[in-house]
Amino acid sequence: METPLSFREAQWAAWGEHRLFNIFPTLPFATLFQGLRPSRRRLDVPAPRAERSGNAKARTELEEPALATAQPSDEARPLPGPPPSPGGEGMNQPELHPVEPEPVSGDPPAIQLSVIVPMFNEEENVELTVNRLRDTLRRFPDGPWEIILVNDGSLDRTMEIARELSRRPGYECVRVVGYRRNRGRGFALRTGFAAARGRWVVSIDADLSYEPEYILRLTDVLREEEDIDMVLASAYMPGGGVVNAPLFRHLVSRFGNVLLSWFMSSGRNKVHTITCVFRAYRREVLDDLELESEGKDIHLEILSKAMMLGYRFREVPATLKWRTRGKSKFRFGTTALSHLIFALFERPILVFGLFGILLMLCSFGIMGYLAVDYLRNGFLTEGRPMFTLVLLAFLGGLQLLAFGIIGTQFVTLRKEIVRMQRRLRELTSRDRGRPAGSD
């Protein structure tokens, strides 16, 4: 009978696999490492949550020797570097201390709801946000829940306050993960998705721009309508609203969502609010998405890829209130540019095709004017610049229209790739669950 490795031996073995894979990426990895493992012994290290998630890029980044502060009840995670030893090279690396769980009688109830709160320089809001979420989630009727605070490389005391809160009696539901360098909201959300254990996952702003009570409304939809896979809080649909927001910020957000809705909505899938972080997902939706965005365009990416895979969503009217504590992290230039580029790649025919057709119509109009001038005067002056203008407008319009058609083909290929990624994950999961030796 195989005997499990000790926890320290498991760390050394996991580090050996990691180093060999980086040094010899093209060689048969299993054959290389097979001779390093002790005979008739097996590794008994639980896989981290990130490896079970569909977010591959977040899974890779979570292996940086940086970050995570987890509660003692979290799963032990193998480290990418060797275990630090006194006087050795590992002393200059951040040291994590995974804790082997103590045996308990009976299985604990499964987490039903995970609430993810990305935070960057939110020291003024951490405690108030956690307390308000706890007060609301006590009325959640479906089972255990957890609050995951994701520190996105804050430069203030956000991480310190979050850790202190998670250690208080009665705050066992609070978990803290994070990293040292600010990576953006998208990376923070992907980190939270990878750490979440709930069957339903809710993401919400750290300043609680939407009242926490809306969490119960979003989860009510998931409970009552089994064909709905994700629920969006919407301030711009009928019944929603915006309170105390600066006029410029409100106009920019409203116009941006109208423009993005024009690009991303299709048929009956009209979306009124696309840029909002406040959403509720079924676990399988997030597991099926290969997310890559690190900024605020992750909201567009999630919605786009979920629609590609045929997942259905529902919007719930909600009221957005401008923050009263802390400083807004909104940057108009970078946010607007990233959203416009994403929308352009979502439906290139609407931009390239539209401008191409307009240019071609202009060329036809100029040609009509020249034809009328010829019929009236009986001749055309040689060397007139209008001849060159007609040629340039027609060829430019034709080229832009071709770009739009080619871009549409790329979008179709992208959809097929997303579907193939989901199918590959399904086959991989099926093979992992198959008993050894079965065909």
Other C-beta atoms lying within 10 Å of the C-beta of residue 416? 11
Q: Is residue 205 one of the residues assigned to a domain?
A: yes
For tokens 């809160």, the residue is: 165
**Distance in angstroms (rounded) separating the CA atoms of residues 188 and 317:** 26
Residue 259 pLDDT level (bands cut at 50, 70, 90): confident
pLDDT of residue 1 exceeding 70, the answer is: no
Q: Is residue 227 one of the residues assigned to a domain?
A: yes
| Token output for 310 | 């045929």
Which phi and psi (to 5°) does residue 394 adopt?
A: -65, -50
371 and 335 in a single domain? The answer is no
Domain boundary (297, 324, 346) is at 346
Contact between 275 and 256 (Cβ < 8 Å): yes
Residue 330 pLDDT level (bands cut at 50, 70, 90): low
120 and 254 in a single domain? The answer is yes
Q: Is residue 293 one of the residues assigned to a domain?
A: yes
Predicted TM-score (pTM) of the model is 0.65
302 and 396 in a single domain? The answer is no
DSSP assignment string, 13-55: HHHHHHHHHHH-TTS-HHHHHHTTSPTTEE---PPPHHHHSS-
Lowest mean pLDDT among 29-38, 292-301, 330-339: 29-38
Burial of 239 (0-12, 13-18, 19+ CB in 10 A): exposed
342 and 374 in a single domain? The answer is no
Which phi and psi (to 5°) does residue 424 adopt?
A: -65, -40
178 and 275 in a single domain? The answer is yes
Encode pLDDT of 331-370 as tens digits.
Answer: 666 777 777 777 777 778 877 888 888 888 988 888 888 8
408 and 378 in a single domain? The answer is yes
pLDDT of residue 56 exceeding 60, the answer is: no
Looking at per-residue pLDDT, the higher value among 261 and 191 belongs to: 191
Q: What is the CATH number of the domain that holds 162?
A: 3.90.550.10
Encode pLDDT of 166-201 as tens digits.
Answer: 999 989 999 999 999 999 999 999 999 999 999 999
pLDDT of residue 224 exceeding 90, the answer is: yes
Q: Mean of the pLDDT values across residues 61-75?
A: 38
Residue 434 pLDDT level (bands cut at 50, 70, 90): low
With a CB cutoff of 8 Å and minimum separation 6, the contacts of 207 are 122, 125, 129, 323, 325, 326
* Long-range contacts of residues 354-359, Cβ cutoff 8 Å, at least 24 apart: 354/404, 355/397, 355/400, 356/396, 356/397, 356/398, 356/399, 356/400, 356/401, 356/402, 356/403, 356/404, 357/397, 357/401, 358/397, 359/393, 359/394, 359/396, 359/397, 359/400
151 and 292 in a single domain? The answer is yes
Q: Mean of the pLDDT values across residues 56-69?
A: 40
Q: Is residue 77 one of the residues assigned to a domain?
A: no
223 and 361 in a single domain? The answer is no
Q: Is residue 57 one of the residues assigned to a domain?
A: no
**Distance in angstroms (rounded) separating the CA atoms of residues 389 and 373:** 16
Mean pLDDT of the chain: 75
356 and 409 in a single domain? The answer is yes
Q: Is residue 360 one of the residues assigned to a domain?
A: yes
357 and 377 in a single domain? The answer is yes
Q: Is residue 66 one of the residues assigned to a domain?
A: no
Other C-beta atoms lying within 10 Å of the C-beta of residue 203? 27
Give the range of the structural domain holding residue 21, as residue numbers without chain letter. 1-45
242 and 372 in a single domain? The answer is no
pLDDT of residue 68 exceeding 50, the answer is: no
pLDDT of residue 82 exceeding 50, the answer is: no
Total number of domains constituting the chain: 3
Contact between 347 and 265 (Cβ < 8 Å): no
Q: Which amino acid is at 398?
A: L
Which phi and psi (to 5°) does residue 53 adopt?
A: -85, 160
**Distance in angstroms (rounded) separating the CA atoms of residues 39 and 41:** 5
Q: Mean of the pLDDT values across residues 154-171?
A: 93
Radius of gyration of the chain (CA): 27
Residue 61 pLDDT level (bands cut at 50, 70, 90): very low
Residue 270 pLDDT level (bands cut at 50, 70, 90): confident
pLDDT of residue 100 exceeding 50, the answer is: no
Residue 34 pLDDT level (bands cut at 50, 70, 90): very low
pLDDT value at residue 204: 95
pLDDT value at residue 339: 72
Burial of 130 (0-12, 13-18, 19+ CB in 10 A): buried
Contact between 53 and 59 (Cβ < 8 Å): yes
**Distance in angstroms (rounded) separating the CA atoms of residues 114 and 110:** 11
Q: Is residue 89 one of the residues assigned to a domain?
A: no
Residue 433 pLDDT level (bands cut at 50, 70, 90): low
pLDDT of residue 426 exceeding 60, the answer is: yes
Looking at per-residue pLDDT, the higher value among 131 and 71 belongs to: 131
273 and 419 in a single domain? The answer is no
